[in-house]
Chain A
Amino acid sequence: MTQMTMIQAITDAMRTELRNDENVLVFGEDVAKNGGVFRATEGLYDEFGEERVFDTPLAESGIGGLALGLALQNYRPIMEIQFFGFVFEAMDSVASQLARLRYRSGGMYHAPVTVRSPFGGGVKTPELHADNLEGLFAQCPGLKVVIPSNPYDAKGLLISAIRDNDPVIFLEHMKLYRSFREEVPEDAYTIEIGKAKIVREGKDISIITYGAMVRTAFKAAEQLSKEGIECELIDLRTISPLDTETITNSIKKTNRAVVVQEAQKQAGIGAQVIAEINDRALLHLDAPVGRVTAPDSVFPFAAAEDVWLPNEKDIIDKVKETITF
């Protein structure tokens, strides 16, 4: 075990898989000599060389096409989109091409591609760096969307993503990169994609969330506990496909739920979670499922992040509202 930040765990996962499988390739803008703009690929170029870890021209769509082509030569590409706000440039190559390859070839071809990309608010980035766009990809059949909230999960999920024989979008919240350390095993281990984790057990209400909001919700739950409200906190970890079993089992126990996301109300995965709860556990609900989200504006100018991003207080208020419904 070593103490690692989330970004170190991510680097470690890639290093592990580059060693483990000679078909794994890492490429993107500035990922080679520079080690990535966040140092996520630090040291990989030195250890594995230009053949395995290489820079690309500055063109996201081309990077996506490159990944598909390399996948068809039996490589296992890990492509990086420098910031997820730039993914619109690669929307076709990811959502229309990588996602559909297995289906449109009737299973003859497949794309074992991992798309790594940082996102998320709270670090005052310039425009279109922090946007929460996971909802767009959760809507694309053929993709899986993974969003870790801590170093341990990040390593295990990224190794699973790289080993998955279908395309996985792996989104890394920038605020979580270096905000805390955690014990992470040095060896390879995997965490199943599509499985949520109960971070905190509770009997009164289920809080279902992912990404940076897991930490925020955890703090809220600790506060609420002091007031006698015991929250069960579920970290989705994978937002597509959803772990509907863990969600519904929790609600059958608590009979109440709040879904929390950093994305705007009209975006993210919150609405889908609520629809699944309504389909599967409506008669177990004592109150409508509450929602904590960002407002439906464009992602805020940096100086407005604090008033815009959902916070602990928003969660506490919504939990109390749902409890006293």
Chain B
Amino acid sequence: MRDLPVNYSGKIEDFFPTLRILNVQGHVVDNQRKPEMTNDQLRELMRRMVYTRIWDQRALSLNRQGRLGFYAPVAGQEASMVASQFAMDKGDWLLPSYRDIPQLVWHGLPLYKAFLYSKGHFEGGQYPKELNAVMPQIIIGAQATQTAGIALGLKKRGKSQIAFCYFGDGATSQGDVYEAMNFAGVYKAPAVFICQNNRFAISVPVEKQTAAETLAQKAVAAGIRGIQVDGMDPLAVYAAAKEAREHAIAGKGPTLIETLTYRYGPHTMAGDDPTRYRTDELTNEWEKQDPLVRFRLYLEQQGIWSREDEEQTSEQAKKDVAKALKQADGVPKQKVTDLLGNMYEKPTQAIKEQIEQYSAREGDQR
């Protein structure tokens, strides 16, 4: 039996206090657990978070103009997403949900491919050979069991790599998420499960998902480690992810990290109206927690971030988005024969017949 927490009250949630390193003023409140990061790393993390915020704003407006398709906004979750990905090694595997496009891009997915995914083009799923990632998962929880498989594979291959998996608060109600943590636990597989608790699964608040006081404590059911972090605090998220990674690499098994975060925008751009289910007060309250604000204050206090840096990053992001969109628009349109051709290694008789039929039709259109 491990030591009980001070003031242990008999409640499981007492084992899962929130890890916070930076407060909203950008002051370090937990020096002991502050991750070791160089100034360059700190600046790069800030640059990525600012870049992601700008790209999110651009994506929203491009979606409204009909120039992008499916898009799940990320503003508010930059620390949770970008700082956790920042703890990954290049060779680590990433299994994202549909909202976790920033992690994919920072892990190496070209931005124009992310836009092709949004528009619904198969080339958006054709990942570069050197990118260890699976396409965004629409079936909530499915990426988690696949993560257990990848992690077991990495362990069997004797690789010093791990698998990072992302899902939301609602996903913790799915059977697959429990199965995944349990499988990874049984096989002591090198996996990190990151539950981004943004308090809402579309319109349903987390209180309606479970009576559990924390989501991190769901790790207990799998016999694995769980940790709750302030998901608006980039240093806390990075520290937790880094530590979970090292734990996994050391062969000690998986960790569940719950990040307490918030999305400022709607669930997706497909007609969701968040004013139907949450109040301005709540959003304002979370805006005070903004990860960019507190990290900016912290870096400014260190004298390693300026308004100029911020503007430069913002301009770069806008330029890159415009360029990536143009690149995505230039990709040839999909043909039915492309889709049929991607079904099997060797086309079956039925597929062959249909490729013939459709190529005749495609020939007509030329």
Whether B348 pairs with A57 at a CB distance below 8 angstroms is no
* A79 to B: closest C-beta gap in Å: 10
Whether B345 pairs with A93 at a CB distance below 8 angstroms is no
Range of interface residues on chain B?
Answer: 35 or more
When each residue 101-119 of chain A gets 1 if its CB lies under 8 Å from chain B and 0 otherwise, what string results?
A: 0111111111000000000
**A97-B142 Cα distance, complex, nearest whole Å:** 8
Whether B179 pairs with A108 at a CB distance below 8 angstroms is no
Whether B148 pairs with A65 at a CB distance below 8 angstroms is yes
Name the residue of chain B whose CB is nearest to the CB of A243.
B349
Whether B349 pairs with A106 at a CB distance below 8 angstroms is no
When each residue 157-187 of chain B gets 1 if its CB lies under 8 Å from chain A and 0 otherwise, what string results?
A: 1000001000000000001100110110010
Whether A93 pairs with B126 at a CB distance below 8 angstroms is no
CB contacts (< 8 Å) of B126 on chain A: these are 105-108
* B273 to A: closest C-beta gap in Å: 29
Whether A241 pairs with B146 at a CB distance below 8 angstroms is no
* A39 to B: closest C-beta gap in Å: 24
Contacts known (A62-B176, A62-B179); A93 close to B145, Cβ less than 8 A:
yes
* B356 to A: closest C-beta gap in Å: 14
Select which of A67, A93, A241, A244 is within 8 A of B142 by beta carbon: A93
* B321 to A: closest C-beta gap in Å: 23
Whether A65 pairs with B153 at a CB distance below 8 angstroms is no
Whether B150 pairs with A241 at a CB distance below 8 angstroms is no
Select which of B175, B344, B350 is within 8 A of A166 by beta carbon: B344
Chain A: interface residue total (CB-CB under 8 A): 43
Q: Is B287 an interface residue (CB 8 A)?
A: no
Whether B156 pairs with A51 at a CB distance below 8 angstroms is yes
Whether A241 pairs with B350 at a CB distance below 8 angstroms is yes
When each residue 149-183 of chain A gets 1 if its CB lies under 8 Å from chain B and 0 otherwise, what string results?
A: 00000000000000011100000000000000000
Contacts known (A51-B156, A72-B134, A97-B139); A65 close to B176, Cβ less than 8 A:
yes
Select which of B146, B154, B186, B351 is within 8 A of A68 by beta carbon: B146
Whether B182 pairs with A166 at a CB distance below 8 angstroms is no
B:328-346 near A, CB below 8 Å = 339, 341-345
Select which of A51, A62, A106 is within 8 A of B145 by beta carbon: A62
CB contacts (< 8 Å) of B176 on chain A: these are 61-62, 65, 92
Tell me which of B123, B127, B149, B153 has the highest count of chain A C-beta atoms within 10 A of its own C-beta. Answer: B149
**A97-B138 Cα distance, complex, nearest whole Å:** 10
Name the residue of chain A whose CB is nearest to the CB of B128.
A108
Whether B342 pairs with A107 at a CB distance below 8 angstroms is yes
* A198 to B: closest C-beta gap in Å: 17
**A97-B145 Cα distance, complex, nearest whole Å:** 11
Counted as pairs of residues, one from A and one from B, with CB atoms less than 8 Å apart, the total is 131
Q: Is A75 an interface residue (CB 8 A)?
A: yes
Whether A61 pairs with B343 at a CB distance below 8 angstroms is no
Q: Is B237 an interface residue (CB 8 A)?
A: no
Whether A65 pairs with B142 at a CB distance below 8 angstroms is yes
Q: Is B205 an interface residue (CB 8 A)?
A: no
Whether B125 pairs with A62 at a CB distance below 8 angstroms is no
**A184-B150 Cα distance, complex, nearest whole Å:** 36
* A50 to B: closest C-beta gap in Å: 11
CB contacts (< 8 Å) of B325 on chain A: these are none
Whether A166 pairs with B345 at a CB distance below 8 angstroms is yes
**A141-B336 Cα distance, complex, nearest whole Å:** 14
Q: Is A249 an interface residue (CB 8 A)?
A: no
CB contacts (< 8 Å) of B149 on chain A: these are 65-73
Whether A66 pairs with B152 at a CB distance below 8 angstroms is yes
Name the residue of chain A whose CB is nearest to the CB of B121.
A106
Name the residue of chain B whose CB is nearest to the CB of A67.
B149
Contacts known (A61-B175, A61-B179); A103 close to B342, Cβ less than 8 A:
yes
A:86-145 near B, CB below 8 Å = 92-93, 96-97, 102-110, 141-142, 144
CB contacts (< 8 Å) of B344 on chain A: these are 102, 142, 166
**A166-B347 Cα distance, complex, nearest whole Å:** 11
* A66 to B: closest C-beta gap in Å: 4
Whether B146 pairs with A59 at a CB distance below 8 angstroms is no
Contacts known (A103-B339, A105-B125); A241 close to B349, Cβ less than 8 A:
yes
When each residue 244-256 of chain A gets 1 if its CB lies under 8 Å from chain B and 0 otherwise, what string results?
A: 1100000000000
Select which of B145, B186, B345 is within 8 A of A65 by beta carbon: B145
**A231-B122 Cα distance, complex, nearest whole Å:** 47
Name the residue of chain B whose CB is nearest to the CB of A97.
B142
CB contacts (< 8 Å) of A142 on chain B: these are 343-344
CB contacts (< 8 Å) of A61 on chain B: these are 145, 175-176, 179
Q: Is A194 an interface residue (CB 8 A)?
A: yes
CB contacts (< 8 Å) of A66 on chain B: these are 145, 148-149, 152, 183
A:209-225 near B, CB below 8 Å = none
* B341 to A: closest C-beta gap in Å: 8
CB contacts (< 8 Å) of A65 on chain B: these are 142, 144-149, 176, 179-180, 183
Whether B127 pairs with A69 at a CB distance below 8 angstroms is no
Q: Is A56 an interface residue (CB 8 A)?
A: yes
Contacts known (A62-B179, A62-B182); A73 close to B156, Cβ less than 8 A:
yes
Q: Is A294 an interface residue (CB 8 A)?
A: no
Tell me which of A71, A74, A93, A106 has the highest count of chain B C-beta atoms within 10 A of its own C-beta. Answer: A106
22 A-B pairs with CB atoms under 8 Å apart are: A51-B156, A56-B183, A61-B175, A62-B182, A62-B183, A66-B152, A67-B149, A69-B147, A69-B152, A70-B156, A73-B150, A93-B145, A102-B343, A103-B339, A105-B135, A106-B125, A106-B342, A108-B125, A108-B127, A142-B344, A241-B349, A241-B351
10 additional A-B pairs beyond A68-B146, A73-B149, A106-B122, beta carbons within 8 Å, are: A59-B182, A59-B183, A62-B180, A72-B134, A72-B146, A96-B142, A104-B135, A105-B125, A108-B125, A166-B345
Which 5 A-B pairs give the minimum distances between C-beta atoms?
A69-B149, A65-B145, A73-B153, A62-B179, A106-B126
Tell me the A residues contacting B by CB distance below 8 Å: 51, 56-57, 59, 61-62, 64-75, 92-93, 96-97, 102-110, 141-142, 144, 164-166, 194, 241-245
